[in-house]
Amino acid sequence: MRGSCCLNRRTELRFRLLAISTVKSVTVKIKFLLCCCIALTLIVLLFSAASSTFVLWTNQTPPALTRFTDSRKGYSIVMNTWKRYDLLKQSIKHYLSCPRLESVHIVWSEPDPPSDVLLKFLHHVVKSKSKDGRHVKLKFNVHKEDSLNNRFKEIEDLETDAVFSIDDDVLFPCSSVEFAFDVWQSAPDTMVGFVPRVHWVDTSKGAGDKFMYGGWLSVWWTGTYSMVLSKAAFFHKKYFTLYTNEMPTSILEYVTKNRNCEDIAMSFLVANATGAPPIWVKGKIFEIGSTGISSLGGHSEKRTECVNRFAAAFGWMPLVSTSVKAVDSRNIWFW
């Protein structure tokens, strides 16, 4: 009996020692794997840094910056602004650093012309950003009438086919803008932008000819979109001509009267001309201004009214939904 008890104790002790050694072994293996992962990450980062250094050292410009030499192959910024001079200065200064930017056109609808102080500052910034023979043109498109339609009026001296329409209170990294420009060149008849929105049939109305407007949460929830807002979007300059000369008069009047929905009107115009959806480009957006009209009460209802009015004016619903998103895979690990 006593021997049996000792035997059991010895067996239990052996199992304990075996369990402890097993745990230690597993712990060592886990630590080893973690060390390998960390080492691999450091190697990748060092290799990436070495590669970029090598490109700079050999004075080789990345292909995306050398493919386009003709001025018509660059792009122009058309920026809408209204009495926010500090934001305008900040935005212009930022975008002048973008490599393929050819010109900046500021849509000016204020009753007074641009001040000498503002003009002097902006021209100084342009001069300071001019390097290696590159000079970005800066022009004010002054309008007598205060209307949101002004941002899409035809510009006679616009030298590039590509237009990047942008508000004065939003900033995107130049790398994101350049990538969006590359995407636009693959489909120059469509709109390519950073801010998606969606519409859908309002089934509660029964007939199927009434629609609802959805903001970002609707895009995120459904995974689809049918518009990209002109507050940050590329499109062909020919749409300025179409907007000015062929947009239904009722839509132009509605936009002027209500000071809203010019971006939806442009989405309708492009979709009506192409029969195709826009392209949403993933990018980081930095809003440097205060909250706009989208934060006001009843915003979605007003936009829904715009969608239905514009569909009636066009005689059909031209917007096309899609779930495609353009992502620059060079800047992310998983996509």
d(CA 197, CA 266): 13
The phi and psi torsions of 140 (rounded to 5 degrees) equal -100, 125
Which residue is catalytic, options 167, 168, 169, 263? 263
For 322, which DSSP code?
A: B
* Distance separating alpha carbons of residues 276 and 321, to the nearest angstrom: 9
- Best CA proximity match to 274, nearest among 230, 242, 249, 311: 242
Could you give the CA distance from residue 112 to residue 46 in angstroms, rounded to a whole number? 55
**Which phi and psi angles does 249 have, rounded to 5°?**
-55, -35
DSSP H helical ranges for the chain: 2-57, 63-66, 85-95, 116-129, 174-186, 216-222, 238-246, 249-258, 262-274, 299-314
Closest C-alpha to 279, from 222, 221, 320, 311? 320
Strands, sheet with 196-201, edge to edge from the N-terminal-most edge strand = 211-214, 196-201, 227-228
CB 201 within 8 Å of CB 254: no
Judge whether 233 and 170 are in contact, CB under 8 Å.
no
Coil vs helix vs strand at 206: coil
For this structure, is 202 an active site residue?
Answer: no
| Alpha-carbon gap, residue 76 to 163, rounded angstroms | 5
- The closest alpha carbon to 101, from 234, 201, 249, belongs to 234
Active site amino acids: 263
